[in-house]
Amino acid sequence: MATTTVKTTAKIAKVEKEKSMILQKEMISGLFKDLSLAKETGKKVVYTFVPGNLSELIHAFDMLPVYPEINALQAGMRKKSGDYIREAEKHGHSEDVCTYVKCDVGMMLNGNIGPTGEKIPDPDLLLLSYTGCFTFMKWFENLERLYPGVEIAMLHTPYQEGAEVTKEMTEYMVKQFKEEVIPKMEKVSGKKLDHDKLKKIMENSLETEGLITRIFETTKHRPSPIDAYFAGVYYIGPINIGFRGTPEATLYYKELLSEIHTRIKNGQGPVTPEGEMETENFRLVVEGPPNWTNFRQFWKLFYDMGAVIVASSYTKVGGCYEMGYQRDPDRPFETLGEYCMHCYTNLNLPQRIDLLERNIVDYHADGFLVNSIKSCNSFAAGQLLMMRTLEERLEIPVGFIETDLVDPRYFSYANIKNRLESFFQMLQQRKIIRG
C-alpha cells in the first residue's frame, strides 16, 4: 500500500455551531413539519427535482416542494439507504439502476418517513423539469405507478448541444410554462398565478443567487475559508431544497457570507467535522457527486491530508450561478427557462470541461480529481475525457476514485484511501520540484 508523509492538519475539537448552521436546521425542519401537516392545512405538495427546479413557481402557488433525490441522500447519511435499495431490488429494480431512484422507491415502499421521523405526504403534482438526466423521466414513471391518478406536468429543457442558449430555445421553454406547467399548477392549487407575487419572489432569487456566487468565490483566498465540496453541499442545501426565492434564504446566505468574511479576516481555514483545518496543503477541484453513506469518513480522507476543495461540479447541479445569466423579475418565464438550460447536467461535455478549467485556473488549484459514481451516468459519462483534456491543457496532476451515491456496498475505504494517498504523493512531489 502506498504511503505519504503529508501530516494531518485537522485539529480534533468540538465544532461550535454558527448562526447560519442553526438557521439552516430551523428552515429544513420547518419545511418537513409543514409537509407532515400538509393534509391538515390543505397545502398542495409538489414532487420535483433539484436540477432546473421551479421553486419560484411553487412558492407563487403556495405549494410545498418535495425533492426525491434529497430524500435519498439524507437516507444515505442516516444509514438507511442500504435497506431501501435492497427493498427496491426485491421489487425488480436492477443493480445498475441509479441508487437515488432505488433508495427513493424503497423509502416510499416503507412508509416514506422523512429525516425528522415524520411521514412525507403523497404528491398532488409530479413536476418533472428535465435537465439532461434521462433517469429523471424513468424515475417519474415509477412515481406515477406508486401514486396512480396524480397530476403530472413535464417541462422539457433543450440540451445545450451547440453550447449556447438560442432565442428559439427560450421561446420553447416559455411556451411550455404557459401551456403545460402553469395550467397544471393552477388546476392542482385551485389558484390563478399572481404575477406580482411571482415578481417579488424572483427578486428574492436574484439576490440569493448573487450571495451564493460570492460565497463560492471566497475560495480564491489563501487559505480558503470554506470547502466547496464537502461543506459546499450544505451551503447549497437551502437554495436546492426549495427555499430559493424566500426571505429566509436571503437571510441565511447573508449570515453565511458574513461568517465567511470573518474567517477570511482572521486567516482561518475551513471548518470540518473534526474541527478547523489548520494548514492548507493542497487545493483541488473535484468533479462528481460525493458519497453520502460514508460522508464524514470520506471527507476525513481529504482533511487529514490538508486537502481543500476550492470548486466542485456537484455544487453547480442546481444551477451554474457564476456563468453570467441573471434572473430578470420583469421576464419571469424567460428567466426561469434560461436558468434550467444553464444547469450543469444540461451543459455539453466541452462546456463542462471549459467550466472546470476556469475553476482550476481562477481558484489556483493544485490538482483535479474525479469521483466517479457507479450508478450515475449523467456525471460519469465523459469523465475520463475530462481528466485527459485538463491534464493536457493545464499540465496538472489528475486523480480518479470511484464510489456510489447511497449504496454502501460500493464504498471501499481501503481502495479509496490507497488511490488518494498516491494522488497526494504526486501533488507533493510536484510542489517539491516547483520549489
Cα–Cα separations (whole angstroms), residue 421 to 67, 95, 154, 366, 425: 36, 30, 45, 15, 6
Contacts of 179 (CB under 8 A, 6+ apart): none
Q: Is 57 within 8 Å of 185 (Cβ atoms)?
A: yes
Q: Per DSSP, what are the bridge partners of residue 282? A: 307
Q: Which three cell numbers stand for residue 277?
A: 483545518
Q: Which residues contact 67 (CB under 8 A, 6 or more apart)?
A: 47, 48, 49, 50, 53, 240, 241, 242
> Contact at 8 Å (CB) between 329 and 203?
yes
Per-position DSSP letters for 250-310, written without gaps between them: HHHHHHHHHHHHHHHHTT---EETTEEB----EEEEEESPPPSTTHHHHHHHHHTTTEEEE
Q: Report helix, strand or coil for 176.
A: helix
Count other Cβ atoms within 10 Å, centred on residue 138. Answer: 12
pLDDT score for 142: 84
pLDDT at 401: 95
pLDDT at position 63, please? 97
pLDDT in tens, the chain (435 residues): 334 444 444 444 445 567 898 999 999 999 999 999 999 999 999 999 898 899 999 999 999 999 988 999 999 999 999 999 999 999 888 888 889 999 999 999 999 998 888 899 999 999 988 787 778 888 888 888 889 999 999 999 998 878 888 999 999 999 999 999 999 999 999 999 999 999 999 999 999 999 999 999 999 999 999 999 999 999 999 999 999 999 999 999 999 999 999 999 999 999 998 889 989 999 999 999 999 999 999 999 998 999 999 999 999 988 888 876 778 899 999 999 999 998 898 898 999 999 999 999 999 999 999 999 888 877 888 899 999 999 999 999 999 999 999 999 989 999 999 999 999 999 999 887 776
Q: Which helix (H) or strand (E) holds 374?
A: none
CA–CA–CA angle 33, 20, 67 (5° rounding): 40
- Report the Cα–Cα distance between both ends of the chain, in Å, rounded: 27
d(CA 320, CA 313): 9
Q: Which residues of 108-133 are buried (b: 16+ CB within 10 A; e: fewer)?
A: beeebbbbbeeebbebbbbbbbbbbb
Cα 207 → chain centroid: 19
Residue 378 confidence (pLDDT): 78
**Beta-bridge mates of residue 272:** 275
Query: For the chain, which residues make up each domain, given as ranges?
Result: 19-434
